[in-house]
Amino acid sequence: MRIDILTLLPKLFDGPFSDSILKRAQEKGHVTIHLHNLRDYSTDKHKNVDDYQYGGGAGMVMRVEPIAACIEKLKAEREYDEIIYMTPDGELLEQGISNQLSINTNIMVLCGHYKGVDERIREHYISKEISIGSYVLSGGELAAAVLVDSIVRLIPGVLNDETSALTDSFQDNLLSPPVYTRPPSFNGWEVPEVLLSGNPKEIELWREREALRRTKIRRPDLLD
Ligand code: ADE
């Protein structure tokens, strides 16, 4: 998979993409991530990428020209399955969206700033608008990093044990059951007997029951 990210702050991605699973996924060739600084696409002499909004009011708007120039350049080079805009008024990100996006070949992700992007970009280029939650971040970059992480870990071969993505919380609309590791007793706090029983059927049953119990208590909305 190829992911192109359009941003005013490419350095913000240095951390999340240079460690752990995202780093390994890139090293193993499962994904290539390309950062594009929108300022490089501004043709005015001060490299401006924002301007006052028509009609007045506080807050700057990201200008149409640099974004359009970057998108057009990329679209001329390959076909994109989705051009995604990260915005608090987008569709709320959930596992199903990441699952769908993980089977794509080329996706573009546009990060907004200030008051957002000129609406004409949304009307003419964007195929999907995604929010990572009902709160406002300073820009779309952290949201894009969250989206990319949730997608890349689902690409076959990225996780060592492929089944571990399938047993993640949310994959079957259930939260994950509790997990334990050694020692079996710590401070008098015991690991549930059944997990030490060596009986795979009993263990599976216990995990299903616990997943359901946890979901009922914490996220009953998932069971609707
Ligand atoms: N940009 C600012 N806030 C955001 C959010 N909650 N989700 C996605 N993009 C955003």
Phi, psi for 166 (deg, rounded to 5): -70, -25
Q: What is the pLDDT of residues 177-202, one digit of tens each?
A: 999 999 999 999 999 999 999 999 99
pLDDT at 9: 97
Contact indicator for 164, 153 with CB cutoff of 8 Å: no
> Would the CB of 174 count as within 6 Å of ligand 1?
no
Q: How many angstroms is it from 142 CA to the middle of ligand 1?
A: 8
pLDDT at 152: 97
Which class for 28: exposed (0-12), middle (13-18), buried (19 or more C-beta within 10 A)? exposed
Distance of CA 40 to the CA centre of its chain: 25
Give 172's pLDDT tier (boundaries 50, 70, 90).
confident
pLDDT at 175: 96
Q: Whose Cα sits closest to atom 10 in ligand 1?
A: 87
pLDDT at 163: 64
Domains in the chain with CATH codes: 2-152 (3.40.1280.10), 167-223 (1.10.1270.20)
Give 224's pLDDT tier (boundaries 50, 70, 90).
confident
Pocket test for ligand 1, best of 132, 141, 146, 147 (most atoms within 8 A of CB): 132
> Would the CB of 84 count as within 6 Å of ligand 1?
no
Q: What is the pLDDT of residues 56-109, one digit of tens each?
A: 999 999 999 999 999 999 999 999 999 999 999 999 999 999 999 999 999 999
pLDDT at 148 over 80: yes
